[in-house]
Amino acid sequence: MVNIRRPSLRLRPGEHRALLAFGDLIASSAAVLASIFTWYRYSIYTNILNGMTERQAERLVVINVPVWFYLLPLVWLLLMVELYEPHNAADRIKTLRGIIIAALVGVLGYSFLFTINVEPNSLPRIGVAAFLIYASLLTIGWRAIYIRFYSTSGMMRRVLIMGAGKAGHTLVDVYSNQKPPPFNLVGFIDDDLRKRGKSYRGFQVLGPTETLLENLESLNVTNLVVSITGEIKGDTFQAILDAQERGVEVTRMPILYEEMTGRVPVHHLESDWVIRSFVDQLPSSGLYELAKRFMDFIGGLVGLVIFAFIFPFASFAILVESGFPIFYSQSRLGQGGHVFVIRKFRTMQRNAEPDGAARLALEKDPRITKVGLFLRRARLDEFPQFFNVVRGEMSLVGPRAERPELVLSFQKEIPFYRARLLVKPGLTGWAQINYGYVSNVTETAVKLEYDLFYIKHRTLMMDIRIVLRTIGTVFGFRGR
């Protein structure tokens, strides 16, 4: 029997996220203790300046730490939500920028609470400031250690692709565009004689199925990815089982594609994929739907309060620049193909579609007004849709609500496009926070891949992550 020498440690993306969260929790918990000590020493120093001796000050100073102060590590984890994707976490510049933004958002949030709080003494400035400083520094140190070990062989899987056809090439295309790489790719296995010895993007076809076990051992492979289109032959299937028995993890191409991109490969799915993914495997429970509706209703009410505040300012700006109307209305398709009407602040010139034909908005669309550009960047144009959320026509999180004409057009050209209608459309969503403007069918297909990934994997925690990242987009003025 062939024995595969397994590396000591191989982490999957979910395990990376858990490790990152655990490390951040330890760092921020240590920051709480350090900030309490700093707060205590600062109080002693203040009393010494007022004429006390150090011994008197140490005897008299008592720090009353509020209970909420010990919950700051959890707040820190929420502020760091952008940095729990392994690819972002492995990038030094993104990590440093993310930590700085988390600290700044913390300062802004504290300043807001301090301003409206009727008892300012209940919000200790020294303690909170010390926490943000210590949490930032300790997290930077911990993340530097993580980045140092992330790219070492001990934490990287070694992947062999079985099948050097279109599906296998798609995986390599995605892999080649990811920096740093999510794993070590060692090559292909393929039975096609015409591909023998050839390579794609520098990754060689190492041999046919008969050489699989030999290559697994010699190359220290930990993961085998099956990228075979169509029926798998009996000897190939047996070789895959033999590899699995020897401790190699076997994965199908769509699963690895989802792991690397956060998308579903719509052009590499079998015709019954929707049935298997959304019927046979029920993706959500009744409890999730109930909790989601509760979150939508509460979030919708909060959004309407904010809308009431921004309405006079946005309306005045729109009127001054381009006159009436302030809002524009459009029909959109909701869950199950139900047609409903949304309203937004008008961000384009009047009569932006003079012929009535539906068009996708471009990234630098000349129809967008100056005020409209600001409203889009800050995502303020979307706030009237909170009425749709409260009414239950939309959700806070879901695929973008699209116009019936565009849905009719796209479903003819993109596989599984109508699967977006299995859930309520959302004000924000997985596709919205991960992808920009779409101007053609190819880009629309990519956005659909994000939507289907969300529908397949949706959970309440994923919804919360998307909402938090959207809030970061609003504060960062990165809306579209």
Tell me: the pLDDT tens digits for 284-335? 677 888 999 999 999 999 999 999 999 999 899 888 888 888 888 889 999 9
Three-class secondary structure of residue 440 per DSSP: coil
Given a cut of 60, whether residue 282 has pLDDT beyond it is no
Question: Is 67 a domain residue?
Answer: yes
Burial of 366-384, coded b for 16+ CB within 10 Å and e otherwise, reads eebbebbebbbbbbbbbbb
- Provide the mean pLDDT of the chain: 84
d(CA 434, CA 425): 16
Question: Is 6 a domain residue?
Answer: no
Question: Is 434 a domain residue?
Answer: yes
Question: Is 280 a domain residue?
Answer: no
pLDDT at 22: 93
421 and 437 housed in the same domain: yes
d(CA 425, CA 168): 33
H helices of 117-245, in order, are 125-150, 166-176, 212-218, 234-245
365 and 448 housed in the same domain: yes
Mean pLDDT for the stretch of residues 256-274: 85
Lowest mean pLDDT among 3-12, 361-370, 402-411, 469-478: 3-12
Given a cut of 70, whether residue 479 has pLDDT beyond it is no
Q: Domain range for residue 398?
A: 286-475
More confident residue, 361 or 188: 188
Q: Say which CATH number the domain at 226 has.
A: 3.40.50.720
Tens digit of each residue's pLDDT (9 = 90 or more) over 132-177: 999 999 999 999 988 887 655 445 788 999 999 999 999 999 999 8
191 and 136 housed in the same domain: no
Strands (E), 420-476: 426-428
Confidence of residue 4 (pLDDT cuts 50, 70, 90): very low
Helix, strand and coil in the chain, % to nearest 5: 60, 10, 30
Concatenated DSSP letters for 447-460?
A: HHHHHHHHHHH--H
pLDDT at 283: 59
| Strand-pair partners of 158 | 184
Given a cut of 90, whether residue 23 has pLDDT beyond it is yes
pLDDT at 359: 64
Mean pLDDT for the stretch of residues 86-104: 83
d(CA 416, CA 339): 19
> Do 181 and 243 contact (CB within 8 A), yes or no?
no
d(CA 284, CA 267): 25
324 and 461 housed in the same domain: yes
220 and 144 housed in the same domain: no
Question: Is 453 a domain residue?
Answer: yes
317 and 187 housed in the same domain: no
Q: How far is CA 364 from CA 57, 73, 355, 420, 443, in A?
A: 63, 40, 21, 26, 16
> Do 358 and 332 contact (CB within 8 A), yes or no?
no
Confidence of residue 1 (pLDDT cuts 50, 70, 90): very low
d(CA 414, CA 412): 6
Question: Is 324 a domain residue?
Answer: yes
Cβ partners under 8 Å of residue 415, min gap 6: 266, 267, 269
Question: Is 7 a domain residue?
Answer: no
181 and 327 housed in the same domain: no
Mean pLDDT for the stretch of residues 19-23: 91
Is this model's pTM higher than 0.95 or not? no
Last residue of a domain, one of 125, 150, 175: 150
pLDDT at 8: 45
Q: What total number of domains does the chain contain?
A: 3
146 and 161 housed in the same domain: no
355 and 212 housed in the same domain: no
Question: Is 2 a domain residue?
Answer: no
Mean pLDDT for the stretch of residues 412-432: 91
